[in-house]
Structure 1
Amino acid sequence: MRLFDCLAPTRALTRRWLLGAALLGAAGLAAAQGTGKTEVLWLGQAAARITSPGGKVIVIDPWLTSNPKTPAEFKKLEALGKVDLILVTHGHFDHFADAPALSQMHKAPMYGPAGMNQSITALGILPVELAPRFGKGGTIAPFGPNGVKITAVHAEHSSEVVWKNPATSKDEVHVGGEPVGFILEMENGFKVWHMGDTAVFGDMTLIGRMYKPDLVMIPIGGHFVMNPADAAMAVRDMIKPRFALPIHYGTTPVLRGTPAEFKEALGQGGAQMLAVEPGQKVEF
């Protein structure tokens, strides 16, 4: 018997093993990507719960329990259901307020600007393992290489952490790091840019070109952030996404911008504005 005849069964087994491994790999990738859609639940101001196609739940800027625009059923943090990850764009109360409690409740890491999380751990608000640090330009894949990818990008704003010192019962202002926005790339490639709080800045064009977000969650209230006309210009002329969801308006008297003004300023064509009320979901 020739040598290659002896090896033929081995070669066949090897081919079957390689085929099986490839199929298992494809199945694993399909499981990671999931068969669902990207769901965005807006909860007032900048608070949102985003569920990825693979079922991962990411909560951004959770100010809920005292937010006047958050629906009553979501003022209890338990109403959010499971939470896998928390993102905080900067240290201001209306973005950070409920993040530590939510993180402790679910043992879910709260990612935020490196300087902010440094203060959070130094003050003992959260342990180091629940307050990981990363910064602008950094990308994390917290659920593995085939899962959601999150990139911190620039935001034109400020960031301070106000902490009540239990020893003095007085408020103290601590370093909040650089404010950021987050680009979330879902398992299926759909991209969301949660812009946090920001004014217009020139590199919105660059970020739009680099990451090509499908959806932007954009502040329109004015005073502390863009007004509707500024936000419309940024969407129409700089970022050019498919969808725009206005946020950060109407919670205080100074945040006067409205979705109607934003839609009028956007004009015809270009991005589709999503008229969403707090507590409503959109799917993609």
Structure 2
Amino acid sequence: MAVTITWTGHSTFLIDTGAGVLLVDPFLDDCPTCPIQASDVQCDAILITHGHFDHVADAVSIAKRLQCPVLCAFEIAEWLAKQGIDGAVGMNLGGTTSVPGGSAKMEMAHHSSSLPDGTYAGPAASWLLDVGGKRIFVAGDTCLFSDMERIGKPDGQGRRLDLAMLPIGDMFTMG
């Protein structure tokens, strides 16, 4: 099954698994390089790496419009519930859940995480996706850390990563 990934700007990606579309870190309307608006997005699930505005800015409007699940840290899920989102799925590092076309495992990241109103957003995370027969690591915002070696090793079936999406940006991420 083919997996198609579309970068829309900043850390926002649309991942078509062949069984559905995942939206990672929705920052669309206020992103100067994004070619689409939040109102144009069609997805089956939203994945959030951490609570900073440039990763959650359009999560509420998209989740309300599409009634799709939002996979995120428990604290972000609690905040989303207060924003009227019923489909927020709170997780913690190490947890795995089903997504259209496969699974998503919440891995660690080293980064701060607070929500637009300043409240604590739980731990920053990355995502290890096993979708459409592909293993994809979505690092979110993070520095280089030793568990990336473990994440990059073959899984129990001998499959290596097919793609690692890494943040390069010096001041806030890897340099």
TM-score by length of 2: 0.92
What do you get for the CA RMSD once the two structures are aligned? 1.4
Higher Rg of the two aligned structures: 1
1: CA distance between counterparts of 2:91 and 2:173? 23
More strand by share: 2
Match of 2:129 among 163, 184, 190: 184
> Over residues 160-187 of structure 1, what are the superposed CA-to-partner deviations in whole Å (9 max), with x where a residue is unaligned?
0122xxxxxxxxx111000000111113
**Could you report, residue by residue, the CA deviation over 1:39-68 in whole angstroms, capped at 9, with x for unpaired residues?**
0000111000000123x0100001000101
Q: Does 1:135 pair with 2:87?
A: no
What letter is aligned with 2:80? I
Q: Which residue of 2 aligns with 1:53?
A: 18
Aligned length: 171
Deviation at 1:118, TM superposition (A): 2.1
- Return the match for 1:64 from 22, 28, 33: 28
Q: Which residue of 2 aligns with 1:43?
A: 8
Q: Report the TM-score when normalising by structure 1.
A: 0.58
How far is the alpha carbon of 1:223 from its aligned partner? 0.2
**What 5-or-longer segments of structure 1 have no aligned partner?**
1-35, 164-172, 228-284
1:116 to 53, 57, 76: 76
**Which consecutive residues of structure 2, in runs of 5 or more, have no partner in the other structure?**
none
Deviations 1:66-121 (A, max 9, x none): 101112xx0x22322x3100001000000000011110110011111112222332
Partner amino acid, structure 1, of 2:91? F
One-letter amino acid of the structure 1 residue matched with residue 2 of structure 2: K
Identity %: 30
C-alpha contact (below 8 Å) 2:97/2:105 kept by paired residues: yes
- Which structure has more helix as a fraction of its residues? 1
Q: How far apart are 1:209 and its partner, in Å?
A: 1.7
Select which of 64, 67, 75 maps to 1:104.
64
1:130-209 paired onto structure 2 within 5 Å: 130-143=87-100, 147-163=101-117, 173-187=118-132, 189-209=133-153
4+ long deviations beyond 3 Å = none
For residues 236-275 of structure 1, the aligned pairs below 5 Å read none
Q: Look up the equivalent residue of 1:57 and give its one-letter code.
A: V
